[in-house]
Amino acid sequence: MECWCVSKLKSWLLILITILILMVCRIDGGCIEEERKVLLEIKTSLIDSNFLDLNGFLLSWVDDGSIGGECCDWERVTCNTTTGHVTNLTLRNMVGLPEQFYEDCKSIWPLNVSVFLNFKELTSLNLSWNCLDNNIVNTGLGRLSSLRKLETLDLSHNSIGNETFHLLGALTSLRVLNLGYNKLEGYLPTLGMSLVLLN
Ligand SMILES: *[C@@H]1O[C@H](CO)[C@@H](O)[C@H](O)[C@H]1NC(C)=O
Ligand SMILES: *[C@@H]1O[C@H](CO)[C@@H](O)[C@H](O)[C@H]1NC(C)=O
Ligand SMILES: *[C@@H]1O[C@H](CO)[C@@H](O)[C@H](O)[C@H]1NC(C)=O
Ligand SMILES: *[C@@H]1O[C@H](CO)[C@@H](O)[C@H](O)[C@H]1NC(C)=O
Ligand SMILES: *[C@@H]1O[C@H](CO)[C@@H](O)[C@H](O)[C@H]1NC(C)=O
């Protein structure tokens, strides 16, 4: 007959193992905590711009307070289901302007593009229709070259001018770059991507 303390120890071990298994499963299916925080920061930066009526906007991007919470099933976000890292961000038209205002739009979203450095496995970033201007240079556009998996960057329908163009050449992992409908003018040098859309 087993002594009382051994069977008690066994059941504690069983509970501990069960908790560990549950934790591992959660991390496996969830998203990376650091990346979840950054997504929430992006949402805050939009709210802080005071321009937007965020009613009904990014409703799924909520902080439920849990560590290792879900963000891979948020709208506009896609993760690699194996690693849990964010791979695709579709942040198009975050400023919610009607189309006729884009013709001459001014910077209204104080986006610091350095935030994207936190998404180590980012492959596709869609920032179209956001009234972004050359300020994205000052906030570290060139540094995005350290995102070695970034293949697709859509910057179309913004207010980006000449200064930005050269820096984009540093993003050597890019295969598709869409710069259509911006303020790029005159002759522009060739970049290394396989597809550069200018119109
Ligand atoms: C997800 O990540 C794993 C491990 O890095 C990689 O092998 C796989 O190709 C990735 N899947 C996608 C769809 O990118
Ligand atoms: C994510 O981006 C990659 C690279 O641009 C693309 O091939 C893939 O179709 C995108 N996936 C989704 C779910 O949008
Ligand atoms: C980015 O979003 C725009 C607007 O919805 C869409 O037309 C475009 O195809 C997207 N770009 C990529 C690379 O998926
Ligand atoms: C952008 O963010 C980076 C990293 O957080 C920071 O070092 C930098 O000062 C910011 N730049 C601007 C112009 O706010
Ligand atoms: C933009 O740069 C190109 C050459 O890089 C030049 O031909 C063009 O005049 C510039 N446009 C403006 C508006 O500065």
Ligand closest to Cα of 153 equals 3
Residue 83 lies in a domain: yes
C-alpha dist (Å) from residue 103 to 33, 133, 149: 38, 13, 32
CA-wise closest residue to 105 among 133, 135, 131: 131
CA of 9 to the centre of ligand 3 (A): 57
> To test ligand 3's pocket by mutation, which of 77, 89, 122, 126 has the most ligand atoms within 8 angstroms of CB?
126
Contact 137, 157 (CB under 8 A): no
Q: Mind listing the pLDDT tens digit for each residue in 43-53?
A: 988 877 756 66
Domain residues for 39?
Answer: 31-193
Closest listed residue to residue 126, CA positions, set 114, 118, 139, 116 = 116
Of residues 134 and 7, the one with the higher pLDDT is 134
Give pLDDT, residue 110. 84
Q: What's the confidence (pLDDT) of residue 25?
A: 44
CA of 135 to the centre of ligand 4 (A): 12
- Residue 103, domain CATH: 3.80.10.10
pLDDT reported for residue 117:
97
> Strand, coil or helix: what is 182?
coil
CB 164 within 8 A of CB 136: yes
Q: Could you read off the pLDDT of 113-133 as tens digits, one per residue?
A: 999 999 999 999 999 999 899
pLDDT at 135: 87
- pLDDT score for 28: 47
Please report the sign of the dihedral spanned by the C-alpha atoms of residue 65, residue 81, residue 111, residue 51.
negative
pTM summary value: 0.83
Any domain includes 16: no
Model confidence over 168-197: pLDDT tens digits? 888 989 999 998 888 887 666 666 666 777
pLDDT digits (tens, 9 = 90+) for 21-59: 445 544 544 789 999 999 999 998 887 775 666 666 788
Would 57 be classed as within a structural domain? yes
Closest ligand (CA of 117): 4
**pLDDT tier at 109 (50, 70, 90 boundaries)?**
confident
Which has the minimum average pLDDT: 13-27, 122-136, 152-166?
13-27
Comparing 52 with 97, the larger pLDDT belongs to 97
Residue 198 lies in a domain: no
Count the domains in the chain.
Answer: 1
Q: Are 151 and 127 in contact (CB under 8 A)?
A: no
3 inside domain? no
Question: What is the CA(32)–ligand 3 centre distance, in A?
Answer: 25
For ligand 5, the distance from its centroid to the CA atom of residue 187, given in whole angstroms, is 6
Averaged over 14-25, what is the pLDDT?
56
Is 23 a member of any domain? Answer: no
